[in-house]
A and B are shown apart, each in its own frame.
Chain A
């Protein structure tokens, strides 16, 4: 922030793009930011009348000014708000061509090299940021390859560019944009995504990020609870899933004539049903915890009933009673750190803005949210399945302890989830159990409730968070809330101008996440068999996510006192 402010002070300038509502003191700053970047967004360049308003002159940047680096980062992170990524890259490409003197020479001789350097800088920053997810975007990949080849052709002419070109070389390699023709896609392993596979397959392995092209297994149920397992791309559309199911069930061949169209329905454990539209994509990671996909005809839709609860009600017999609070908390933190690290920083931007410009998958972020809700239900489930009052109070104490250790680990996601789980109405109404909680823990929990209190826009939590040093696992849902407010609170485009201040605020948020993850999280844990058992338990909770059922259990434990 500091260098940027200083930079901006030097630029006494007039309004170029308007900021959203709530302008006041900071308005001056917004205006100047916009001006530096935006000559290109403002007016059509005379040489190229065909260019659109939001066009490529952001390339007029001259690195390595620190403030410009920040602005460059803003643009790279958020360009998809006003322009699809492939179009963004095409402009870069076009700019490089212009600097090379084709299609028409636009600049003085002495300007060519700096302009090419600018393109390179932008490209390098882009590749650095998009590392890991570029393979999913074919058209963007193609432009980058073209541009890369162009630059390589030039490499011998401009010795000053040597360092950048070397870096470019490495980056193109790390993002696996092989320039050779006809490379075979690497044979990808099918990843276990769904609980029934997750449970027995590789839950102990370190999580790696999911990408849209990954293949996964998925069960699709019929109204009578028969199921078929299909293999599908993570990004498959509902239509694709349905045609795999139809094929498996032999609808197409022998019953071809009286074929009835199938619909895909997500059925939650509570019986709630949602029909998925044929064009929807990546539906797998958006399902609720105990929701399942059903294929049925329109006639059988009404008769769909959820699968029976998977969980065996065998009171007080789960791992949680045997293991120390500290071990559970540390395994929670370790797992959530893995999940958090799998989320690409652009997923945060895309999650909030998706649907507006070309959809990129946000599977890893969705899985983290799913997990957050899973932990909340796990806490409630474990407590409500514990029949003996004394044991239950003991468990309550253990969960408060777990929350405390998670907080100490700076794992605010687990901390929040456990506290929310204990605040579940089915748990908080257990008066007898709470009464048995030792005073010290009652006080501790009161503090935790205070820390998670949403009043004054989560002031207490935010203050605690700013005092922490990385590594931190933040309470991710709050980040999404902030981003949503930033998005809905101000317009992206106004009179054809881009609201750079908005982009900057969003990018700042993303940089905070970057900071949280800037240092690795290391917890000391042994790998004894009992530790592995705990690890497996923590990574594959069986939970009840049907609130009615949780209430039922709760009233059975402690009937209402009337």
Chain B
């Protein structure tokens, strides 16, 4: 039986259509599609290393278009790290992050120790850009969190985003182990799978 407490939970927030699911699916499955399916709530799991042992990275992709305040509160209270996504093509989408950020502060209290990444997605759409990179940076400074621009479509900065986020975690050492140690991670995965079959 997998240990619930061993999971490291990342929650992705942002307005509808900014590309939350695209970022998550690009990272988890390496795929991208143009069509848009509104998300209700999805969670993906990956095996990562944490304090030199294995743990599960849980990435929860939330809804941008439905209104479930109670579910949002629950996600925040259960989350360990947060990704706040806006689209560089929509100033409105950056505005819409404010109440979410405030709610995280309210529920988590001391946010300085909590990994939060502000993400400007769709950096490839330079023609439609409404929010400059410097503005995102300024907002991140104000919120005392990290900042990055990404493109899920071009696979720009996606892995880096998740690695950076985990690096921000100071309470434990979490790592995706992307370079070099891949084979080791692979082995562990297989070991885990083996276990499942036995069960």
What residues of chain A have their CB less than 8 Å away from a CB belonging to chain B?
A: 197, 200-201, 217, 219, 223-231, 247-250, 253-255, 271, 302-303, 305, 308-309
Contacts and interface: CB of A to CB of B under 8 A. Distances in A.
Nearest to B73: A200
Interface string B5-46: 000000000000000000001000101110001011111110
10 contacts: A201-B68, A225-B45, A229-B42, A247-B37, A249-B29, A250-B25, A250-B31, A250-B33, A254-B31, A303-B193
Nearest to B197: A303
A376 to B, nearest CB: 24
Interface in B33-65: 33, 37, 39-45
A517 to B, nearest CB: 32
Interface residues of B, number: 25
A527 B109 CA distance: 32
A253 B197 contact: no
Given A200-B74, A250-B31, A226 B44 contact: yes
A223 B4 CA distance: 16
Q: Which residue among B4, B25, B43 has the maximum number of chain A CB atoms within 10 Å of its CB?
A: B43
* A-B CB proximity, top 10 nearest: A229-B40, A200-B70, A228-B42, A226-B44, A229-B41, A303-B196, A226-B45, A254-B31, A250-B31, A308-B1
Given A201-B71, A253-B31, 17 more contacts: A201-B68, A201-B70, A226-B42, A228-B42, A229-B39, A229-B40, A230-B40, A231-B40, A247-B37, A248-B42, A249-B29, A250-B31, A250-B33, A253-B33, A303-B196, A303-B197, A308-B3
A219 B40 CA distance: 10
B199 A305 contact: yes
A178 B71 CA distance: 37
Contacts of B2: 225, 308
Contacts of B4: 308
A234 to B, nearest CB: 16
A533 to B, nearest CB: 16
B197 A302 contact: yes
A104 B52 CA distance: 89
Nearest to B66: A190
Nearest to A249: B29
A305 B196 contact: yes
A192 B37 CA distance: 20
Contacts of A217: 40
Tell me whether chain B's interface is mostly helix, strand or loop, or mixed: mixed
Contacts of B32: 254
A248 B196 contact: no
Contacts of B41: 219, 229
Given A302-B197, A303-B193, A308-B1, A200 B43 contact: no
A133 to B, nearest CB: 27
Q: Which residue among A219, A228, A253, A255 has the maximum number of chain B CB atoms within 10 Å of its CB?
A: A228
Nearest to A229: B40
Nearest to B60: A227
A306 to B, nearest CB: 8
B42 A224 contact: no
Nearest to A304: B196
Contacts of A309: 1
A253 B29 CA distance: 13
A152 to B, nearest CB: 42
Contacts of B33: 250, 253-254
Contacts of A230: 40
Nearest to B193: A303
A162 to B, nearest CB: 49
A117 to B, nearest CB: 51
A545 to B, nearest CB: 15
A334 B27 CA distance: 48
B23 to A, nearest CB: 14
B79 to A, nearest CB: 15
A249 B70 CA distance: 26
Contacts of B45: 224-226
Nearest to A217: B40
B186 to A, nearest CB: 15
A227 B31 contact: no
A392 to B, nearest CB: 25
Given A200-B74, A201-B68, A302-B197, A226 B31 contact: no
B1 to A, nearest CB: 5
Nearest to B63: A229
A254 B22 CA distance: 14
Contacts of B37: 247-248
B168 to A, nearest CB: 24
Contacts of A219: 41
Contacts of A253: 31, 33
A465 to B, nearest CB: 40
A226 B70 contact: no
A230 B39 CA distance: 8
A227 B197 contact: no
Interface in B141-199: 193, 196-197, 199
B42 to A, nearest CB: 4
Contacts of A201: 68, 70-71
Q: Which residue among A224, A225, A249, A303 has the maximum number of chain B CB atoms within 10 Å of its CB?
A: A224
A250 B199 contact: no
Q: Which residue among B31, B40, B44 has the maximum number of chain A CB atoms within 10 Å of its CB?
A: B40
Contacts of A197: 71
Nearest to A309: B1
B40 to A, nearest CB: 4
A471 B40 CA distance: 40
Given A200-B71, A250-B29, A308-B4, A227 B196 contact: no
B43 A227 contact: yes
Contacts of A247: 37
Nearest to B74: A200
Contacts of B25: 250
A226 B197 contact: no
Contacts of A225: 2, 45
A200 B75 CA distance: 11
Nearest to A227: B43
B155 to A, nearest CB: 13
A346 to B, nearest CB: 32
